[in-house]
Structure 1
């Protein structure tokens, strides 16, 4: 099996066909891609059932919080570049939560084993949830990287950043990010699609995954999954880590500066009225910088399992080919899935706690305040 296929297994989490082949100690072939055996499903159930309730719960939470984020950002207006980026991130997170919810509903045994269900829930969830979701996950990763990079430019080039990163540039960048992450999904449609197929062990015909043996499409799929599954995540993670480190250092430096100014101006009646104190615009930038750092740290923490998967796939290709570690691979992929759902769900609380304007608009929207805070 090629290295790109191995990376695909590690990064496109919860790939049931890969799990089946791992449990059977075989490569992913057409035979291995059929409906999993009862033993394989029982083994999957033991490992995945524990994740169903928390993932479904966080997915529902994420749907609610991201709908709220989208509404609040639209009410705030799209005159600021950061608002546009965070709106695009909220849309991506909302879709990820929706696909996560659908995927795990299909894994619930009571739903999966319904006698009159016209489709194979595991295979349908693969094509309509599991395989699509990583593309939106990478979209969110690249948008987060863009947000942190923009904050760094605000520090490095404070006088020029407004002319470099405009609202128009940000809108175009968001569209490009969505296109470069979602267009590769088209190659999968030439490799597999949904259609009617007969399942001998059930003696019935249902809608399931129909695979097409197209060598060109297979190569394109491997290249695209390598780019989306490996390169985009690596690029985003490195960018976020470097930019976050820079922002943390900058915040620490600003904190020391404020302490120094405070100690010098303490005898005076009001430090805010002294010429040495920072203007309100700088305080607003610091608040925004802290919020971006919090978003980035949440991203880094929640993507540790994905980074571990990439590390194992890169330096130990046999690790994902043998059945010896099958249970661990399934567990790692499930943890990766769960952590990503958490990341998709919690940004609202960061916005509310650290974004003054966001908090004001939200409180007005739900009737807790009479007017919004403009700063």
Structure 2
């Protein structure tokens, strides 16, 4: 019995060491680019916010894109302490911390991903509303007004906070006396972590993300089909058949509508690509407990976790390139800012 217990402890220790080795390898490759991505993301989202405010919130799409930029900026700001802790522990292991360094990780990590998930809900709202307006314009063209869009954005934020309460409420600040210096230092206190994290994994890392992911793929497919259909209609010669002409007119998208749909498709596609690693490792983690800290597949878990974080940072950063290429008004105001 004692030998079996010793063997289990030894296997767990080896697994933890393996995880740390994989974590170090992943951090060695990915960590150097994280500060650059965060910096670029903060600059790009600040630019987006200024441009959209300057353009005026005259339609639902602009309101949603502004909300998305604000949420992405909040995510990048809140995730910075966690990323900084990873980098310091990896590149400066002898760093002397003024406070318990787990505070830096735990107190900011879940609020950061609350905003990240909020961004995903905004992207989903954007994709679904554009699908409705393009697929059934007569019914939905005037449905998504500015006021209703603002109400929707506020409701989505409340929903994001509400469903993250299990992990937002398990951490608090306590005090512990340092035996060496005999000085009390602040530490992170965790209560009910195991249960709350399981709830969060099932709800916020699997069920809702998969629903959003599948819905988003459907939106992108439908919008892409409408773009293809619009391009074919534009290339057809004028027809003398009144019925056919009326059908063509009903399916035709204006140049402005085409650019809006193209930008929405790209924003949603970026979300789909960035979300895939997180979905895969979160689902495998629930199905196979070995794919986790201390498990047999901890090597893959360490790699997926860091790749997922990198994709999350990129997802909150690169939308500026979409807006610049497919929004002439954005491009004009952006160039005005550059000339100041």
Query: After TM superposition, is the score higher than 0.5?
Result: yes
Q: Aligned equivalents of 1:89 and 1:247: distance in 2?
A: 20
- TM-score, normalised to structure 1, is 0.76
SS across alignment from 1:319: coil
**Separation in structure 2 between the aligned mates of residue 164 and residue 64 of structure 1, nearest angstrom:** 34
More helix by share: 2
CA contact (8 A) 1:135 1:182 kept: yes
* Secondary structure at the counterpart of residue 339 of structure 2: coil
Who is 1:299 aligned against?
271
Does the 8 Å contact 1:97/1:344 carry over to 2?
Answer: yes
Aligned to 1:155: 134
C-alpha displacement of 1:204: 7.2
Pair 1:106–1:289, CA change in 2 (3 A)? same
Contact 1:76 1:358 in 2 (8 A): yes
2:95 aligns with one of 104, 114, 123: 114
- Structure 2 contact 81–105 (Cα < 8 Å) conserved: no
Q: Deviations over 1:148-200 (max 9, x none)?
A: 11111111221232432111111011111111112344433542223323567
233-242 vs 282-291, which moves further: 233-242
| Structure 1: gaps (5+ residues) | 1-21, 27-36, 266-275, 369-375
Question: 1:1-375, aligned counterparts within 5 Å?
Answer: 24=13, 44-107=23-86, 108-109=88-89, 113-115=94-96, 117-121=97-101, 123-198=102-177, 206-212=185-191, 214=192, 219=195, 222-261=198-237, 282-320=254-292, 323-367=295-339
String of CA shifts for 1:92-129, please: whole Å, max 9, x gaps.
Answer: 111122233322212223566433x32132x1232233
- 1:300-333 Cα deviation digits (max 9, x unpaired): 1112211211331344344337522112101100
Distance 1:322 1:278 in 2: 59
Q: Deviations over 1:17-44 (max 9, x none)?
A: xxxxx96489xxxxxxxxxx99976663
CA contact (8 A) 1:195 1:210 kept: yes
Rounded Cα–Cα distance in structure 2 between residues aligned with 1:40 and 1:321:
7
For 2:73 and 2:29, locate their aligned partners in 1 and report how far apart those are by CA, in whole Å: 23
Residue 164 of structure 1 aligns to a residue whose secondary structure is: coil
* CA spacing shift, 1:365–1:152, aligned 2, 3 Å: same
Q: In 1, distance between residues paired with 2:228 and 2:252?
A: 18
Three-state SS of the structure 1 residue aligned to 2:57 is: coil
SS in 1 for 2:297: helix
Contact 1:119 1:206 in 2 (8 A): yes
Judge conservation of contact 1:313–1:319 (CA < 8 Å) in 2. Answer: yes
Question: Aligned equivalents of 1:296 and 1:328: distance in 2?
Answer: 27
Alignment RMSD (CA, Å): 3.1
**TM-score, L = length of structure 2:** 0.83
